[in-house]
Amino acid sequence: MRRRNLRRGALARLACLALLALLAASIQGTSDLAGQGSAGEVADDVFSESWPFEIGETSEYAVLFGPVNFGRMHLRVEAQDTIRGTPAYRLSMEMKGGVPFYRMDDRTVSWLAPDPYRSLRFEENLRQGGYRRQRRWELDHEALAATRQDWNEEAEAYLPHRRQRDLPMPPGALDEISYLYLIRTLPLEVGRTYEFDRYFEEDGNPVVVEVLRRERVRVPAGTFDTIVLRPTIQTDGLFGEEGQAEVFISDDDRRLIVQIRSRMKIGGVDMYLRGFEQNEAETGR
């Protein structure tokens, strides 16, 4: 399968890639303990199988592209739905903003089933400048296959893509947003490196996350003690090797995504937590 079209276009892809940061430290895989040179499988019991996040919780971020205030991003746990008979939590990432002559209004949604964690569906509705796309992926964990579906205006329904059907995916496959939330279930030990192979498009693996240090930071939402991660994924974007991105996670029970920093050839990207809320939301289907 071709490398993700999702990540084409530097500025247009920044918002989606930004939360890939968290991507990683939440998944079963292999790990090395820094300084010891040893490797082994991450034990299953380090991952919480219960759902630790409240329906209705929302995080809001200010997004800066270089010195320019690009817009706002929101992460939400919206509701509990049922996908093909399986209960799943509906997670969303929304990005709105832009610069003169360029506007972005994106909504990406993931349906994550716990016990064990796995993505059942991943949906995108993207409006970036003159570019439009509305599609989703259905993830079949019994067949270990992913199928792309595109929105058809005439049929007013999602229809399977002609070629991207029944594509192989790894066991326990996850999408971008699902990865983000799982980091909060994992103990993050400074000096440790985690490697994961559960991204649903196999050529996006592996994802590597180094746990670098602890640091106190001030953002619009307040002052936080954080754990700083460096994620590296198989892309030239925000979390490619050249970007040297750092992700700051609150060093408390909430494990909030507090700040993201990256430096690339096209310029720097920064995201700062502006607020965090926990409000009840409805249960849906």
Query: In this structure, is residue 45 part of a structural domain?
Result: yes
DSSP 3-state percent helix, strand, coil across the chain (nearest 5): 10, 55, 35
The reported pLDDT for the residue numbered 240 is 42
Query: In this structure, is residue 284 part of a structural domain?
Result: no
Query: In this structure, is residue 83 part of a structural domain?
Result: yes
**131-141 pLDDT, tens digit each:** 888 899 999 99
Q: What is the extent of the structural domain holding 133?
A: 5-278
Query: In this structure, is residue 74 part of a structural domain?
Result: yes
What's the CA gap between 104 and 127, in Å, rounded? 6
Average pLDDT value over all residues in the chain: 77
pTM of the model: 0.77
Query: In this structure, is residue 50 part of a structural domain?
Result: yes
With cut-offs at 50, 70 and 90, classify the pLDDT of residue 202. Answer: confident
The reported pLDDT for the residue numbered 238 is 45
**21-35 pLDDT, tens digit each:** 333 333 333 333 333
For tokens 């971008």, name the residue. Answer: 176
**39-89 pLDDT, tens digit each:** 333 333 334 556 778 899 999 999 998 888 889 999 999 999 999 999 999
For tokens 């276009």, name the residue. Answer: 9
Query: In this structure, is residue 283 part of a structural domain?
Result: no
What's the CA gap between 271 and 70, in Å, rounded? 10
Query: In this structure, is residue 285 part of a structural domain?
Result: no
Number of domains in the chain: 1
